[in-house]
Chains A and B, each alone.
Chain A
Amino acid sequence: MYIDRLVLIFIVGAYVLSPSLMQWWAESGTAWWRPFIIWGLLIAVTFWIARSRDLDGF
């Protein structure tokens, strides 16, 4: 169970800073679909990462 501590710090950091992201959404006025765009991009990045590496240990 080798978990990179840097990744963990990143997760906690992103979680703590998420209200700033919320504010950015809120400023966007009529672009209600903005969170969906970010979400879609995140899915694309995860897809790309998952394609380029296999799961170890199974």
Chain B
Amino acid sequence: MAFSVAQLFGIGVGYLLLFFLVAYLTEHGFVPARLVRHPITYVLSLGVFASAWAIFGAVGFAHDFGYNFLAYYLGISGAFMLAPILLAPILRLTQTYQLGSLADLLSFRYRSPVVGAVVTIAMLLGILPLIALQIQAVADAVHILNEETSQEILAFVFVVLIIMFAILFGARHISTREKHEGLVVAIAFESLVKLIGFFLVGGVILFEVFDGPGGLNTWLAEHPEQLVSLYQPLEEGPWRALVAAFFVASVGMPHMFHMAFTENLNPRAIMSASWGLPLYMFFMAIPVLIIVWAAAKLNIFSNPEYFTLLVPEALNSKWLAILGFAAGLSAASGVIIVCTLSLSAMFLNHIILPMAPFYRRSNLYSWLLWTRRILIAAIVLVSYGFYVIMQNKHTLSELGFLAFVATMQFVPGLFGVLLWPKANKDGFLAGLAAGLSVWLFGLLLPVLLGIQFHISAPLLFDDLFPTPNNSYMVATFAIFINSTIFGIVSMLTESSPAEMQAAETCNVDNLRRPQRWELSIGSAREFVGRLAKPLGASTARREVELALNDLAMSLDETRPYALRRLRDQLESNLSGLLGPSVAHEVMNGSIPYVIKSNDTSSQDIHFIESRLEEYHDKLTGLAGELDSLRRFHRQTLQDLPVGVCSLGSDGEVLGWNSALEAITRVSPDQILGSQINHLPEPWNGVFSQFIDNESRTQQVEVELDGVHRWISLHKAAIGLGKMNQINSGQVVVVEDTTEVKMLEHHVAHNERLASVGRLAAGVAHEIGNPITGIACLAQNLRYDSREPAILESADQILDQTKRISRIVQSLVSFSHSGTTEVAMEPVYVYECAQEAIDLLSLNKEVAQVIFTNAADPNHCVKGDQQRLTQVFINLLSNARDAMVEGGEVKVISHAHEHTIVIDVEDNGSGIPAEVLKRIYEPFVTTKDPGKGTGLGMSLVYSIIEEHYGQIVIQSPLDSENGGTRVTITLPRYTLSAEEHSEVDHEEQHEPHPDR
């Protein structure tokens, strides 16, 4: 069974074109977004881990090293099973600070461009064998299927296609914030192809060679040596080194980092990956042993790494061989593409950019993009060169092991990222150098060049390195020496302040940020000018606008806290574009932070609060309790019914509660983080003056929207530290006392009125006697004289004295109102109204109007008949005075369960609005001077209040015709059964006049 070159070329290119098509369709929106972001797509894209090793190398490894082959699957599965606690923190860091690769992460943590550069170079060295492994696997596979073809040429064609794909679909955007959906879906598709392909190969072989699982068990029972060879190598020891290497690969391998973190389209999907990827690897592992045993049964002994192709060939099954080949091609291409993309980004950010003068480039974005594309091509071609140099002398397992041991050297550094804030750059670099040296001299050079070293360490080693049996010991030794040196050097050397800050950012266990970092910049607009120097004007403007957009802020932003956030966001965004080292350098050069040294008062409260809010659901035990307490106190302060504002020692507003927002109409979002003098007027003046003032309390009157308001301010210093000796700022309590002030004014006014009333009553009492005297004298004058002129004068004197008496009488009644007990007896509304009407009808000197008493004669209220009659007299006379001749005044009553409602309605001129507001105040009248005292309505109000009633005036009733309705509500009098019979009895003897 042999394939022609054309056939193989057609299959290979056809498959890769299908791969291109999937990416193209996704990029152009033909694949639903839900599917693109679905956790299953993420899990399958992580299947990139299953490289050509999984299809070919693992079979050979199982053949040679038995169950050790499972380390490859179990190592990565273990890492992902622990994803929520191991990988999620890294994902959070990479997403927050836009870190696109392991070099980005480590240089961000250790705050050093050197770290980035060293990691990049180490990674390239370590990964070259892995990429070469993929090229070799494809070339070998083709060679097995067609022995005549030159492996190098086919490998080259394959490499060119891969470069095209990586450039077209993996390097479309330069910033890590923009994801390559096409790439993600294509890699997921590729994982699906290799899973189905490999599983089918295993399944078909199981049934073709062994007649199903039963046959396999029978065959194994007959060949117990097969199982012994499976278990035997486990006892030899490489197991732990292998599991550790593949465990670390979840973060250490650039293609895994790229798919798990950089191209993660849905962060929550990492929870699904915690079981999804182990399940995927489970299915990928099952066919391996079946293929190994099938080869044993079919007596295939040569080249065990390619049993996946050789068994189908022995079975003479062409399509099965093609399936195996497609699975291998798929696995190899996926790894090369993703590794290259990741490495190119690392190279650009950590080698090219720190060296290349990219300043003031007008087309920075396209320059970055093209440099990256060139890098992709260069890296793939270098790997191809590496493959050619090796001349097929090494097994896939050897190459894979080299790469995995190299990436293991980043483990101590990662430990420092997540768990050890004391770790520093010097420790990391020293440890890495030691570990890599062991790897280089103990593994890489011996494997590539065939040199063997004799290492002799008393009590530890005395052996020749490497031999197939001790290479895992070199790996263990490399990581041991790396970790030891990392720990010792980190403990002996000091970290820089920037490194300590980065360490705290990464270690969220520690929320302390000892100082508040200040910026020497006043507004968001200034950012553009400062960044124009390193980035060029157009790039600077675009980046500032993007960051402002991310934070929903405007270019006019001036709040210090907001500007600090803007600076952090800009650094994160630039980190996605240029890598963290260069971004940090650019930001530090242009917009440096100023640290206020030894000033414990300037703790960044917003920073601490925002971090606590972010992590509050992860705080457990005492920390959780304390956080609940903090939230309770904060909420108490927030909901306090008085305004509270807390200020830092430099006048920055740290707290602004909702009551204060209601008083000042300035929201916390507007002012938090600003200086207090950024408040709008009139509040700026009020607060600034009060804070500078020595007095601890102050009352101020402010005008807000044309309304005068009274504000009361109190302040106190916030003491921190032992004995409260450190002044950390002030707390200002603000209260709106407008209502209290109004009430005070009202009381004072009423007091004045009451004294006027008392004076008037006293005067009235005193005037009464002389008036009586004058009236008597005027009467006498009438009897004593016959002179018409004198008689007329006497009449006039009498009229005037009567008028004075009337005024005096009302004054006395007014002054007595409220001082005497009100008799609570049954009073018929109809009778009171009728009595008032009868009295008023006697006066013929005024305009004659029609009084209609339509009150129900049965409606009875509780009260004093005399006083209620007085109410009707006042209301009806007011109504009459407001009408012209012939007008009508109506008295109507309605009964409710507990009340009687009486309406006195006229069709007179109505009451002007300004008079209506003050109608119950004494001496308020619309009548001509001398006609009314202005005490009538005031008296009515007092009497109704004494009766526990209510009075409402509606005027005018009609905008055209005027009219007034006075509605009085009085408590209804309910007759008891006894009283009822008494009343009925009386009525029989003395019938009501109107009935």
Residues in chain B near residue A58, CB distance under 8 A:
92, 95, 267-268
Q: Name the interface residues of B91-132: CB closer than 8 Å to any CB of A.
A: 92-93, 95
Residue among A2, A11, A49 making CB contact with B618, cutoff 8 Å: A2
Given A47-B275, A57-B615, answer yes or no on A22-B239 (Cβ-Cβ < 8 Å).
yes
Given the contacts A39-B278, A40-B282, A55 and B221 also touching, CB distance less than 8 Å = no
Q: Interface stretch among B502-510, B656-664, B907-915, B942-950?
A: B502-510
Chain A residue nearest to B224 in the complex (CB)? A30
A2: chain B residues at CB < 8 Å are: 89, 508-509, 615, 618-619
Bound-state Cα–Cα, A32 to B70, Å:
12
Q: Which residue on A lies nearest to B89, using beta carbons?
A: A1
Interface string of B78-99 (1 = CB under 8 A from A): 0001101110110011010000
Q: Which residues on B sit within 8 Å (CB–CB) of A49?
A: 274
Select one of A3, A26, A29 contacting B85, CB under 8 A: A3
A1 touching B220, Cβ below 8 Å: no
| Given contact pairs A3-B89, A53-B84, a sample of 4 additional A-B residue pairs in the complex whose CB atoms are under 8 Å apart | A2-B618, A19-B239, A43-B279, A55-B268
Q: How far is the CA of A22 from the CA of B227 in the complex (A)?
A: 14
**Bound Cα distance A40, B281 (Å):** 11
One of B229-237, B555-563, B886-894 contacting the partner: B229-237
A and B contact pairs by CB, cutoff 8 A, 23 listed: A2-B89, A2-B509, A7-B85, A11-B82, A22-B239, A23-B235, A25-B231, A26-B231, A30-B221, A32-B230, A36-B282, A36-B286, A39-B73, A39-B74, A39-B282, A43-B77, A43-B279, A47-B275, A50-B271, A55-B270, A56-B615, A56-B617, A57-B615
Residues of B within 8 A of A19 (CB): 239-240
Number of interface residues of A (CB under 8 A): 33
User: Contact: B278 with A29, CB < 8 Å?
Assistant: no
Restricting to A9-58, which residues have a CB under 8 Å from any CB of B?
A: 11, 15, 18-19, 22-23, 25-26, 29-30, 32, 35-36, 39-40, 42-43, 46-47, 49-50, 53-58
CB atoms of A54 and B244 under 8 A apart: no
User: A22 touching B92 by the CB < 8 A rule?
Assistant: no
Interface residues of B (CB under 8 A from A): 67, 70, 73-74, 77, 81-82, 84-86, 88-89, 92-93, 95, 217, 220-221, 224, 227, 230-231, 234-235, 239-240, 243-244, 267-268, 270-272, 274-275, 278-279, 282, 285-286, 289, 418-419, 506-509, 614-615, 617-619
A20–B618 CA distance with the chains assembled, in angstroms: 35
Q: Which of B70, B271, B282, B619 contacts A54 (CB 8 A)?
A: B271
Bound complex: CA A31 to CA B469 (Å)? 27
**Interchain CB contact under 8 A, A1 and B92:** yes
Cβ–Cβ contact A22 & B220, under 8 A: no
A14 to chain B, nearest CB (A): 9
B248 to chain A, nearest CB (A): 12
Cβ–Cβ < 8 Å partners of B239 in chain A: 18-19, 22
Kindly report which residue of chain B lies nearest to residue A11, judged by CB atoms.
B82
Q: Which 9 residue pairs of A and B lie closest in terms of their CB atoms, listed nearest first?
A: A1-B89, A26-B231, A47-B275, A46-B275, A58-B267, A1-B508, A2-B618, A22-B234, A50-B271
A27 CB to nearest B CB, Å = 9
Interchain Cβ contacts within 8 Å, total number:
106
Report the Cα distance A25→B244, complex, angstroms. Answer: 19
Cβ contact of B268, chosen from A18, A39, A54, cutoff 8 A: A54
Q: B81, A32: Cβ atoms under 8 Å?
A: no
Contact call A55/B278, Cβ cutoff below 8 A? no
- The CA-CA distance from A30 to B617 in the complex, in Å, is 48
Question: Which residues on the A side are within 8 Å of B82 (C-beta)?
Answer: 7, 11
Given A39-B74, A43-B278, A43-B279, are A32 and B235 neighbors across the interface (CB < 8 Å)? no
Give the residues in chain B near A50, CB-CB below 8 Å. 84, 271-272, 274-275
Q: Which of B227, B268, B282, B285 contacts A32 (CB 8 A)?
A: B227
Interface pair B289/A25, CB less than 8 Å apart: no
* A46 near B81: Cβ-Cβ < 8 Å: yes
With a cutoff of 8 Å between Cβ atoms, the chain A residues found around residue B419 in the complex are 3, 8
Q: Which residues of A contact B240 (CB under 8 A)?
A: 15, 18-19
Please, which residue of chain A has its CB at the minimum distance from the CB of B68? A22
Measured CA separation A48–B385 after assembly (Å): 47
Structural contact, B234 and A25, CB atoms closer than 8 A: yes
Report whether A30 and B92 are in contact in the complex, using a CB–CB cutoff of 8 Å.
Answer: no
Is the Cβ of B230 less than 8 Å from the Cβ of A43?
no
B279 and chain A: residue at smallest CB distance: A43
Nearest Cβ distance between residue A58 and chain B, in whole angstroms? 4
Beta-carbon nearest neighbor of A7 in chain B? B85
A4 contacts across to B, CB distance below 8 A: 85
Nearest-CB distance from B269 to chain A (Å)? Answer: 9
Give A49 to B274 CA distance when docked, in angstroms.
Answer: 9
Residue of A nearest to B80 (CB): A46
**B235: A residues at CB distance < 8 A:** 22-23, 26
Shortest CB-to-CB span from A9 to chain B, Å, is 12
**B227 close to A30 (CB less than 8 A):** yes
Task: Please give the distance in Å from B611's CB to the nearest CB on chain A.
Answer: 11
B67 proximity list for chain A (CB < 8 A)? 22, 25, 35
- Nearest residue (CB) in B for A57 is B92
B272: chain A residues at CB < 8 Å are 50
Residues of A within 8 Å of B227, CB to CB, are 29-30, 32
User: Which chain B residue lies CB-closest to A27?
Assistant: B231
Chain B residue at minimum C-beta to C-beta distance from A10: B82
Return chain B residues, CB-CB under 8 Å to A53: 84, 271
